[in-house]
Amino acid sequence: MGMAPGAVQLLLRNIDSRTTVVQAELDDTVESVLERLGNGKANLRVEYAGRCLPLDATIGELGLPRDATLHVNSRLLSTPHPDAWNLAEQVVAAAGQQPGSAASVDELVWNFLNVARAARERRSAGPLGPVADHVSIFLRSGAPGALAQLYLYSQDESCRAEAERAIRRFLTEQSGVLKVWTAPVLLELSGSIANGTEARQRRVDDPLYADLRRALADVIADPEWNPACWLDASLKLVAEQLTRFAVETASAVTEQITGAYLMLAAGKRNLAEFRTFSAALRRQARLDAGDAPPRLRPWWAAMYEALVSLLRSVIEYMAMIDAFLLRRKDAASSSSGCTASLPCVWVVLAELDAWSGVADLPEIRNAVRATLAVHAAATGVLVLSAGTTEWCQDIGWIIPRHRDLLDLESRRHLAMTMLPKLAAAAPDTAPMLIDRSRLLADSFGYIAHATPEELCSELKVEFTNEMATGPGVRREWFCMVFQALFDPSQVLFSACPSDRRRFFVNPNFNQMLAGINDTIDVKEWKAHTDYHGYRRKSHRVEWFWKAVEAMTVEQRRRLLFFWTSVEYLPFDGFSGLGSRLSIFRSHNSCDHLPTSGTCFYQLHLPAYTSYNMMQGRLQMIVQEHVSSSFGKS
């Protein structure tokens, strides 16, 4: 045991005469050192001078002399699967033989996997089943580490090729009973390759390492996988390995965003792996022992740095989108080259938002919110891409915390995206035959017994003893059902005393569509207004909109009602009114108030001579008793 100030270097001599170097700090415990030897540390014990060293003691507390010899022993286990133990030990022995003698490693691994697959009907020694028992035996035997050592350090190319073929046997188990249980094996194999001295600089470019990482991501993303599938792997080791994978894939995603590259196959894989490892690491953080938040755990520093780097790349990218839209002055053209990384940005923002909740990171949450607010145009383009690709299906993260930052079109798009899509090739269904005298009972009877597939297909409605069919009948049925549902005499809902135009429903639904304060967007109002007798840049038009911007929300609503007889806009804003608004130059003197033609959405505005006069006249017509007169004086 060689010891330097503040650090210890352990030289572990294996039974095959090879030496493994393990570095440790003086405050590391014996148990933490054993964890670095791989899986199965629960069955290992360390002896010095005939006595067993306590696992919770630190290296410094032991006070061992320099060049001390420690013995690492493994206790024998009883098992109902002796054939599995025999095969696993043969794999370890074959991997540790001299070059030229490892030709049977691939065959032995293949035989072990066959035995594991056939073990489904056998008795289990543990609660997870016989298949999990076999994988646990493979881990405890040290076989994954032996295979990785052979692949990394063998000087014989045929032995390295044999080890690679044996390792790739686990990559072919991506279906069937073994899939979810291969996670700890893939984790240890990829970790051993990543920690190898020669592989440290080339691990990202190593095809085998990349394939192991990709296979592990596929396993973790499987719906049947759960954290119990890690078996005996320590939570600390799992978190460290997942952090390495998350940081590596985050770096690739950052390059994708900053380079604005097209989403090619490699980019899609990196994005999928990052999302999988990030989500798995968050789940692992919740399971980690102790009450310390993630920011106090050893692996957190690297993950936090990766998240900050991703946030910077997102901010730069959204600034680029804003500049692009400003140059083009056409949001519809935003689907060209510079928007290629929108799926990456959407996924990254969702992950940042999720991490800010798990790890209690108000700085990241505030930065995400500030980015969405400052780059409003880019945020609109980003939201409009939601639901259009497989990467943008999850829209739930932006609604709870940031919906107040979205414009009306974005909120409308999110609401429509959440609705289920009609099936393209839905089976033909029989029409609902409705008796008008039993409208709700018959309608409920059909819908209650319909399958989800039938509900996503075309709805056909016919009324009893009537010949009419088609969309018109369906539209009539919808109107009748809505009227019956909201009939106050049916006491299905309680009427709202302060607003009798609607009933008590989910209050958040109205906020999601129209904003928290039901504000009227003056910019959208101006964009849907034409001028007759005035120019858009004339002083009187500018005075008019300046006065409107200075109004309260209630005053703007009264002005809109005076102008159009519409007090509450449709869900899609001014574009849902059916026609554009118009401001006409009135030939009346400046002593007259503005008048309106509500049928045609016309406002007749005299040529007032100053802003104060304009504001004063408008303030008069937005009084409640005046605005309801529709400009008739």
- Specify the range with the lowest mean pLDDT, choosing from 326-340, 468-482, 529-543: 326-340
Q: 497 falls in which pLDDT band (50, 70, 90)?
A: low
Q: Which residue has the tokens 């999990």?
A: 132
339: nearest Cα among 318, 365, 367 = 318
Q: 95 falls in which pLDDT band (50, 70, 90)?
A: confident
Q: Average of pLDDT values for 402-418?
A: 80
Taking each helix axis as running N to C, give the angle between helix 300-328 and helix 235-259, from 0 to 180 degrees, rounded to the nearest 10.
20
- pLDDT for residue 529 is more than 90: yes
- Which strands, in side-by-side order, build the sheet including 581-586? 529-532, 581-586, 602-606, 595-597
Chain segment 164-220, per-residue pLDDT in tens: 899 998 888 766 678 888 899 999 898 888 876 554 445 567 888 989 999 999 999
Beta-bridge partners for 49 = none
pLDDT of residue 178: 80
pLDDT, greater one: 228 or 52: 228
Taking each helix axis as running N to C, give the angle between helix 207-220 and helix 235-259, from 0 to 180 degrees, rounded to the nearest 10.
110
d(CA 1, CA 590): 99
Handedness of CA 177, 181, 185, 190 (dihedral sign): positive
d(CA 154, CA 156): 5
pLDDT of residue 153: 83
- pLDDT for residue 502 is more than 70: no
Q: 512 falls in which pLDDT band (50, 70, 90)?
A: very low
The catalytic position among 159, 338, 344, 599 is: 599
Percentage helix, strand, coil for the chain under 3-state DSSP, each rounded to 5: 55, 10, 35
In the DSSP assignment, the letter for residue 8 is: E
Q: Average of pLDDT values for 435-463?
A: 86
Residues in the chain, overall count = 633
pLDDT of residue 334: 44
d(CA 540, CA 611): 8
Q: 333 falls in which pLDDT band (50, 70, 90)?
A: very low
d(CA 173, CA 177): 8
Chain segment 102-142, per-residue pLDDT in tens: 558 888 889 888 888 887 656 555 567 788 888 888 888 88
Structure tokens at 146: 């032996």
pLDDT, greater one: 110 or 600: 110
Beta strands in 398-550 (DSSP E): 432-434, 461-463, 529-532
How would you classify residue 572: left for phi > 0, otherwise alpha for psi between -120 and 50, otherwise beta? Answer: alpha
pLDDT of residue 612: 93
> How many H-runs (helices) and E-runs (strands) does the chain carry?
26, 12
Q: 3 falls in which pLDDT band (50, 70, 90)?
A: very low
pLDDT of residue 66: 72
Q: Indicate the domain borders of the chain.
A: 2-74, 82-233, 308-344+352-418, 432-485, 519-627
pLDDT of residue 36: 67
- pLDDT for residue 516 is more than 60: no
- Specify the range with the lowest mean pLDDT, choosing from 324-328, 439-443, 561-565: 324-328
Rg of the chain in Å (alpha carbons): 35
Q: Average of pLDDT values for 355-369?
A: 78
- pLDDT for residue 256 is more than 70: yes
Give SS3 for 100. coil
- Specify the range with the lowest mean pLDDT, choosing from 243-257, 308-322, 494-508: 494-508
- pLDDT for residue 39 is more than 50: no
Q: Look up the pTM and report it.
A: 0.60
How would you classify residue 577: left for phi > 0, otherwise alpha for psi between -120 and 50, otherwise beta? Answer: alpha
Please report, rounded to a whole number, the percentage of residues in the chain having pLDDT higher than 70.
75
Structure tokens at 534: 């005035």
pLDDT, greater one: 626 or 450: 450
pLDDT of residue 479: 86
**How far, rounded to the nearest angstrom, does the alpha carbon of residue 611 sit from its chain's CA centroid?**
50
Please report, rounded to a whole number, the percentage of residues in the chain having pLDDT higher than 90.
15
In terms of average pLDDT, the best of 11-25, 101-115, 432-446, 567-581 is: 432-446
pLDDT of residue 628: 57
- Which strands, in side-by-side order, build the sheet including 19-25? 2-4, 7-13, 19-25
Beta carbons of 527 and 577 less than 8 angstroms apart: no
- Specify the range with the lowest mean pLDDT, choosing from 36-40, 101-105, 125-129, 236-240: 36-40
CA atoms within 13 A on the CB side of 5: 0
Compute the mean pLDDT over every residue in the chain, rounded to the nearest whole number.
78
Q: Average of pLDDT values for 398-411?
A: 80
- pLDDT for residue 571 is more than 70: no
d(CA 385, CA 393): 10
d(CA 213, CA 325): 38
d(CA 135, CA 132): 5
Q: 233 falls in which pLDDT band (50, 70, 90)?
A: confident
Give SS3 for 283. helix
Beta carbons of 21 and 37 less than 8 angstroms apart: no
In this structure, which CATH number among 3.30.930.10, 3.10.20.90, 3.65.10.10, 3.40.50.2300 belongs to the domain 2-74?
3.10.20.90
d(CA 378, CA 319): 8
Q: What's the CATH number for 519-627?
A: 3.30.2410.10
Find the Cα–Cα–Cα–Cα dihedral 150, 152, 153, 158, rounded to 10°: 60
- Specify the range with the lowest mean pLDDT, choosing from 29-33, 155-159, 223-227, 443-447: 29-33
Q: Which amino acid would we find at residue 401? A: R
Give SS3 for 98. coil
d(CA 49, CA 83): 35
pLDDT of residue 617: 92
Q: Is 52 an annotated catalytic residue? A: no
d(CA 446, CA 435): 12
pLDDT of residue 58: 82
What are the DSSP calls for 108-159, one per residue? Answer: HHHHHHHHHHGGGGS--SSTT-HHHHHHHHHHHTTHHHHHHHHHHH-S-HHH
